């Protein structure tokens, strides 16, 4: 078996894999100020369990794996996990999403271990605004991480920007970033499965794009590797690209190609669904590869056609799901 197809004929080849539920930031749209209760270490999948699961998933048709958290770089020795995953299949598209605070000292090691590309969350280029949004984050440390990722040869380096009304709508500074660096800045419409903030903070990507076009003439561009649902644009002379991911104003559920595995081993067929398949129970219950594959196929059967019917019912915060 080398292809996974759900009941709506969507090919599923992408796994978002959370390696921890812990994070060293407290972004205001992701979790409450006090944080969320952490899982006990014994509840988190071990690296050996992750590799055992991935061996089955990759044989079944998963060709893209993205490591997430929480913040994946707070988990000890994550470079070893990257190396073991990359050895499963040389062609595997292995990437990582990070807040970037720990990336400067780790980028070269991650690239050497087999990581191909990285996404870095930067919701503002104003240090004070960034500190407010992350409840204490250091923007300079994150920008150093971006530079280190570029120097390490990770490509593409993508910058994720969640825009929030009244908080970080001054996005013009990102034009200077893509002018100067070969990065791909993607503006992402805010939507929360956990109700961390209310809908009054929503800003459509149409508004953001119109604001940027007042300054520069944006031209449609070919998407970089792993573009997913983003639509990309460039402006003349820029080294990088601007992208827009619009899950609210123009949701892309009909093209969804992903499954999610939480840090405690629950497979979610949809980001916003309560539906979960217990992978950890299978891994720790003495079951074989056939049972692991059956669980993956069970998740495919539970994958909804879109998130409209499940949007308000998820029980986990974004940091607990893995984004």
Q: What is the pLDDT of residues 189-226, one digit of tens each?
A: 987 655 455 677 889 999 998 888 766 688 899 888 76
Question: Does the pLDDT value for residue 34 go beyond 90?
Answer: no
Angle among Cα 282, 284, 287 to the nearest 5 degrees reads 45
- Looking at residue 307, the DSSP 8-state letter turns out to be S
219-255 residue pLDDT tens:
899 888 766 788 999 988 999 999 999 888 877 788 8
Which pLDDT does position 229 carry in this prediction? Answer: 84
Q: Determine the pLDDT at residue 195.
A: 47
Mean pLDDT over each residue of the chain, to the nearest integer: 90
What whole-number percentage of the chain has pLDDT above 90?
71
What tokens were used for 69?
């958290």
Q: Is residue 169 predicted with pLDDT exceeding 60?
A: yes
Query: Does 313 have pLDDT greater than 50?
Result: no
Per-residue pLDDT, 66: 98
Give the whole-number percent of the chain exceeding pLDDT 70.
Answer: 91
pLDDT of residue 320: 58
d(CA 54, CA 65): 9
**Is 3.20.20.70 the CATH classification of the domain at 14-321?**
yes
Phi, psi of 195 (to 5 degrees): 70, 30
Mean pLDDT of 146-167: 96
Structure tokens at 124: 């503002």
Contact 251, 210 (CB under 8 A): no
How distant is the alpha carbon of residue 319 from its chain centre? 11
Angle value at C-alpha 17, between 12 and 18, nearest 5 degrees: 150
Strands 183-189 and 258-261: unpaired
In which band, very low, low, confident or very high, does the pLDDT at 321 lie, cut at 50, 70 and 90?
low
Distance of CA 52 to the CA centre of its chain: 22
The Cα–Cα gap between 301 and 323 comes to 21
**What pLDDT score was predicted for residue 312?**
46
Poorest-pLDDT segment among 55-64, 143-152, 283-292, 313-322: 313-322
CA–CA separation, 314 and 323 (whole Å): 13
- Rounded to the nearest 10°, the torsion over CA 72, 100, 13, 85 is -50
How many CB atoms within 10 Å of residue 181? 18
């Amino acid at each position: 078996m080398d292809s996974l197809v759900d009941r709506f004929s969507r090919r599923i080849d992408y796994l978002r894999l959370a390696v921890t539920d812990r994070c060293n930031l407290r972004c205001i749209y992701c979790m409450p100020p006090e944080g969320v209760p952490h899982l006990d270490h014994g509840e988190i999948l071990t690296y050996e369990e992750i590799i055992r699961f991935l061996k089955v998933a990759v044989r079944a048709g998963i060709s893209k794996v993205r490591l997430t958290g929480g913040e994946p770089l707070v988990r000890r020795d994550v470079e070893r996990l990257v190396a073991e995953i990359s050895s499963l299949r040389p062609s595997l598209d292995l990437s990582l999403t990070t807040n970037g605070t720990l990336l400067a000292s780790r980028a070269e090691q991650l690239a050497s271990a087999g990581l191909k590309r990285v996404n870095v969350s930067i919701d503002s280029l104003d240090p004070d605004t960034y500190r407010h949004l992350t409840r204490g984050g250091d923007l300079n440390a994150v920008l150093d991480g971006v530079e280190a990722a570029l120097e390490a040869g990770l490509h593409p380096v993508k910058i994720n920007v969640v825009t929030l009304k009244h908080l970080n709508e001054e996005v013009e500074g990102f034009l200077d970033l893509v002018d100067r660096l070969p990065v791909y800045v993607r503006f992402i419409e805010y939507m929360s499965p956990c109700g961390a903030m209310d809908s009054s903070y929503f800003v459509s990507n149409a508004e953001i794009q119109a604001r940027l076009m007042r300054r520069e003439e944006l031209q449609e561009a070919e998407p970089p590797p792993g573009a997913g649902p983003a639509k990309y644009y460039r402006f003349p002379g820029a080294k990088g690209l601007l992208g827009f991911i619009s899950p609210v104003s123009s949701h892309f559920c009909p093209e969804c190609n992903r499954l999610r595995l939480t840090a405690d081993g629950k497979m979610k067929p949809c980001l916003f669904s309560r539906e979960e398949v217990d992978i950890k129970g299978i891994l720790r219950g003495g079951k074989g590869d056939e049972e692991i594959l059956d669980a993956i196929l069970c998740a495919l059967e539970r994958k909804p056609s879109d998130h409209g019917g499940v949007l308000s019912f998820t029980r986990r915060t974004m940091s607990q799901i893995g984004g």
